[in-house]
Structure 1
């Protein structure tokens, strides 16, 4: 049993879509070309037959044929119309009506099936015949004849199968409306009969030669086969674009809420001792008792004293301070009070005198008085037997 081999179309859906589009488009273009070529061949055969008729046709006698009118001696028939309508203009000069012009054009040989032009009315319905001498109409109640030698010329309407015959005496024009499928041949044979009566037949043949040459120059060409590269780019549907946008917004909100978005995550700040803050301590402006710092002075704090005394906690500048009570090493027998040194970073602002009672020393001696300006004052406790004085940095006393 052999494994089924995957095709390139299965691996690439876009390629399959392009191949299907190329097949459909090639089929559509092929059908359009065949329709245009069929119409062109029909038109070419018709023009070729008309050119032959313009040079070799001189009418027919049609003996024994019943005609709408009686023919004169030597009169021949060019065209018979079993059904036709007699139309008449309501005035001599009306805009939009065709002027007398015996010249044939491609549009006149293929008229449209439009309505009756404005200014014309239908007088009667019957049959008509075109001979080398005249055009005659025989209806139920009206009969009309136009001698070709007395006409200014036929006028063919381009948008309706109507042909007006303009008389030379300046009377109101009248004419015939014929079925649209018989209009091309009727116009040609009427023009040919009029040219025969006015001895301008050669001009009709030359005009047909020009029409045939122009028609053959416009022969349709087969279309170029289309390939995958000619396929248009697929456009996404609006609902798919909206769904993709909603998913993108949801992902963005989720990443932002999780804190993993690189644009919102910042470096972590470690809280350190505030030296310039004016915020009061929670116990009425006095800082809590300091805790001994770990060995080595971690986090940038002051290193412990060599004698092992705890280092006092620095207080905010400008606020009330609380004296730190330190004890001498075992054997000294005395207790010393060390006041913190004033901050050198900023000048403290005047503060209101504190009403907090002074703290009591563990030995029972009164605590030192704190000045309103935060400057250290002398102590009233027992003097150290060694006579220590407060150093500037670090704020601690050491035995002599």
Structure 2
């Protein structure tokens, strides 16, 4: 095979539908348009199985097919000779194709018609370029290898998790020209992902949540695979995804306490990439754009590599904070306070915290804050350690994969955004201090 499928992946995104040729057992040919072709690797592609039609009947008796694809940038046409192997009806590849097909269906007005029954896996037997005039492709918008090299070098210089998160978003904006980004961490105990950092939105959305398995982000997390959509689709819109999931969980009445998830109201392209370290899901990197087909296979490849490096860096910084605790530092807390008391209400069922009547945070971060404030009010304690929190039975950490340092960063950022006069400050590796500007009144329940 002279051509490799990875060099013509622009043909596979459904801009120009493919044409598939099959034959039945008697040798009678059939031609049909194909909605989607998915790159798997250099030996395999997956085709969308949507209808039990003539094409489907033919491949079950004659596994050899020919597929005509067209490059939308150059008008070059290629014929792929394929052999059907099997069909997948669940798993990462199926979910990738299901999400992409939803976007294609919405774009073509076939949202109520297109339904992915399965991902048909084919072995590539040959690729041939058809003769004919072609156009000169436009120059690439950026050099992905250069952007990746510069970004990973910058991530390697970070001395803390907070610095790493800020640098990661800076890299995505300055090196990859990505201006709308969210970084969400995995709350394994609650089956949620929570926003830890974002870029390009009027509100940061720090502390907002998305249920595991909901929308592009949740499916990416569940399957630990990138999910890319090139056209707007209602099926994967986040307002609907969150509300449907909450209603199914009996949480509809609690939505008013949620922090709104940031996002573009008219995002036409979406890409979610898992952040994994040592085969454990840490979180998801989510990117969006208002243009159709903004993200291609090259973007996906580069950002998967970026997320892999970021995942190992996050894992390293969280381990360092746990294992390398310094000697006790001077008390940096602000014990003297004045003014009207701040009412802090805590609800143990969800570990939710309200400052006066305003929702602040819930989950493990809420349990952490309640423990810190309880110690501050009872003993005027202001210095704390990561190790101490891990041993504190009041917090009920879910286990070793609890992303404790990320939760502290979340809490620190949420308090800063709220501006309520409660502050967390790093005072050393594995150590932090609490400062309070006004008297506190704690109310449990």
Structure ranking higher in strand proportion: 2
TM-score (norm 1): 0.20
Q: TM-score, normalised by structure 2?
A: 0.19
